[in-house]
Amino acid sequence: NAGVTQTPKFQVLKTGQSMTLQCAQDMNHNSMYWYRQDPGMGLRLIYYSASEGTTDKGEVPNGYNVSRLNKREFSLRLESAAPSQTSVYFCASSGGTADTQYFGPGTRLTVL
């Protein structure tokens, strides 16, 4: 089992460019999440998908869109990147004991 995988690992964008961050899990989990991690602020939830076919906003959804492509895959799209979106992005999934979440290795995004 690979667990939760994310691509790319690193990305540099110019302001206004768009990109999609990919996430896949092979644990047959129903729920998937996108977080951003900024220094001194912990993790903040951007969007989540409780099950295939549903998506909901989290704490900081502005500037992002998501797609739950199938049970395995959950992508995050930045339509017009801004410097405030420079961050490390983590995908997670859950569906097992105690609602524990399993995290991918992260994507480090820099917007110039």
Partner 1 sequence: GEDVEQSLFLSVREGDSSVINCTYTDSSSTYLYWYKQEPGAGLQLLTYIFSNMDMKQDQRLTVLLNKKDKHLSLRIADTQTGDSAIYFCAETLGGFKTIFGAGTRLFVKA
Interacting residues toward partner 1 by CB under 8 A: 4, 31, 33, 40-43, 45, 48, 50, 56, 90, 92, 98-106
Cis peptide bond N-terminal to 8, omega within 30: yes
Q: How far is the CB of 101 from partner 1 (least distance, A)?
A: 7
Closest distance of CB 97 from partner 1, Å: 9
Cβ nearer to partner 1, comparing 17 with 45: 45
Nearest to 84 by CA among 52, 38, 53: 38
Q: Which is nearer to partner 1, 19 or 88 (CB)?
A: 88
Looking at the Cβ atoms of 14 and 42, the one nearer to partner 1 is 42
Q: How far is the CB of 5 from partner 1 (least distance, A)?
A: 10
